[in-house]
Structure 1
Amino acid sequence: MVSILLSGAGGKMGQVITRSVSERDDCHIAAGIDIHSIDCGYPVFSSPEQCDVACDVIIDFSHPSVTNSLLDYAVKHKIPAVIATTGLSPEQVEAIHEAAKTIPVFFSANMSLGVSLLTELAKKAAKVLGNDFDIEIIEKHHNRKVDAPSGTALMLADAISEELKDAPQYVYDRHSRRAARSKNEIGIHAVRGGTIVGEHEILFAGHDEIISLTHTAMSKEIFATGAINAALFLANCKPGLYNMGDLV
């Protein structure tokens, strides 16, 4: 049975993961990390450095302020890490790549199997349509989400960019641009409201026709399941950087 160290144990995703793991017999949460003192049914430490419980793999659904210390802890103790926290800085992403030289690291802005498929479909569409169709990405989330655009929207934009002949410019703020849309850009738009779990739509707009690819998350359980499966997968991997494509 795989033992998990859950970073962000007291957060909404942490609670969903705790509940999901309790319904499985192939893993258990041995300890958690959270800045708040909470009762999760397992020991919870306020920082990675304080954790003295042996674990096989880390799942991180917390906050970018924790990422650096968590990576240091994972590398020091040679523990594989699933990094699902979004809103990371370019320097933190680089640190993740550096850590992957020493330990297995699973890094994805979205842990959903459906979003992984959406990414592949978007890449295929971009390869066929990208030179003749305008590309726009619209993402929608609940009113408590802080970072915008979402990490998933940026992940989709990056995947599409790989298929285009010329590297596109990402445009986030059209109201400040008094100019016609250029061909070499991807518009990325964020909507925040209510309790929307997560919706991502990619529009390929051409002459007299539009192709739309959409994924809608109905609950956070899909992300919890993906993260747990990633942790089980990672427990048996060699050092390196892994993502949903590897898991699928």
Structure 2
Amino acid sequence: MINILMSGCNGKMGQVITRLASGSEELTIAAGYDLNNSKDNPYPVFTNIHQCDVKVDAIIDFSNPAALENILEFAVSRKIPVVMATTGLSDENIKVLEMASAEIPIFFSANMSLGVNLLLDIVKKASKILSDNFDIEIIEKHHNQKLDSPSGTALAIADAINLALEQKYEYTYDRHSVREKRSKREIGIHAVRGGTIVGEHSVIFAGNDEIIEIKHTATSKEIFAVGALRAAKFICGRKPGFYNMNDLISAE
């Protein structure tokens, strides 16, 4: 049995993961970490992660970027693998993750859904074929409580496209302030916030007289929880390093 420390256990994703893990024969949530300790959980919850005295085999973090360095300090001091699933991480945050991966195994993905990661592969292949004659736009939609914009997944899609193309494209987030035609060498990224939309990402390739749209829609937060739990099973026993969803898929 794999014992998990759930960071952000009292948040929406933490509670979904807790529920799914309760039915697993391979892993269990043995402890939680959250500044908010108002919920009743079937495991001890610590408001200070450094006070956790429960032996755990991995940490799943679905909390806040502000907690990153504190969590990593704890994980490195005890040599515990980390699945970093928190969204909205900055480039500086990711550099901190990469530095910590020299000492412990770290799994990081901008989106824990297997479907989204398949979309990334498809979009990279499509970009190589279509980029010369098609404009590329990304539209992401999320619920009205989401804090970061654009989403980390939308940025990951844009980065995947840029990686696939020989010439770097610029990212355009807002066009209202400049009255000029769209550049061929840009990727438009647009965010919609409303209601209870779990997550939707569309990549539009707009050409002359034809449009190709590649889209992923999440209808439940469970897909992200399932991915995080699979990542936790994958990361246990690994050597220090920086792992992602491609490593998990390749290993299965």
Q: TM-score range by the shorter chain?
A: over 0.9
Q: Which amino acid aligns with 2:186?
A: E
CA distance in structure 2 between the aligned counterparts of 1:245 and 1:136, rounded to whole angstroms: 24
Match of 2:115 in 1: 114
Match of 2:84 in 1: 83
CA distance in structure 2 between the aligned counterparts of 1:106 and 1:137, rounded to whole angstroms: 26
CA distance in structure 2 between the aligned counterparts of 1:226 and 1:193, rounded to whole angstroms: 25
Deviation at 1:36, TM superposition (A): 0.8
Q: Which residues of 2 match residues 13-92 of structure 1 at below 5 A? A: 13-37=13-37, 38-92=39-93
Larger mean CA deviation between 190-199 and 176-185 belongs to 176-185
Name the SS of the counterpart of 1:55 in structure 2: coil
CA distance in structure 1 between the aligned counterparts of 2:214 and 2:233, rounded to whole angstroms: 30
Q: Which residues of 2 match residues 36-185 of structure 1 at below 5 A? A: 36-37=36-37, 38-185=39-186
Q: Is the Cα–Cα contact under 8 Å of residues 60 and 84 in structure 1 kept in the other structure?
A: yes
User: Which consecutive unaligned segments of at least 5 residues does structure 2 have?
Assistant: none
Larger mean CA deviation between 40-49 and 27-36 belongs to 40-49
Q: Which residues of 2 match residues 180-199 of structure 1 at below 5 A? A: 180-199=181-200
Name the SS of the counterpart of 2:228 in structure 1: helix
CA distance in structure 2 between the aligned counterparts of 1:97 and 1:187, rounded to whole angstroms: 28
Deviation at 1:236, TM superposition (A): 2.3
CA distance in structure 2 between the aligned counterparts of 1:88 and 1:97, rounded to whole angstroms: 13
CA distance in structure 2 between the aligned counterparts of 1:86 and 1:97, rounded to whole angstroms: 16
TM-score (ref. length: structure 1): 0.98
Match of 2:202 in 1: 201
1:172-206 CA-to-partner distances (Å, cap 9, x unmatched) read 01111211100111000000000000000000111
How many residue pairs match? The answer is 248
CA distance in structure 1 between the aligned counterparts of 2:221 and 2:169, rounded to whole angstroms: 32
Q: Is the Cα–Cα contact under 8 Å of residues 168 and 185 in structure 1 kept in the other structure?
A: yes
Deviation at 1:168, TM superposition (A): 0.8
Q: Which amino acid aligns with 1:98?
A: M
1:225-247 CA-to-partner distances (Å, cap 9, x unmatched) read 00000000000211111111111
Deviation at 1:49, TM superposition (A): 1.4
Q: Is the Cα–Cα contact under 8 Å of residues 9 and 33 in structure 1 kept in the other structure?
A: yes
TM-score (ref. length: structure 2): 0.97
CA distance in structure 2 between the aligned counterparts of 1:207 and 1:236, rounded to whole angstroms: 51
Q: Which amino acid aligns with 1:144?
A: Q
Match of 2:5 in 1: 5
1:66-114 CA-to-partner distances (Å, cap 9, x unmatched) read 1110011111111000001011122111000111111110001100010
Name the SS of the counterpart of 1:175 in structure 2: coil
1:31-83 CA-to-partner distances (Å, cap 9, x unmatched) read 01000113211011112212111100000000111111001111111100000
CA distance in structure 1 between the aligned counterparts of 2:209 and 2:18, rounded to whole angstroms: 48
CA distance in structure 2 between the aligned counterparts of 1:74 and 1:207, rounded to whole angstroms: 52
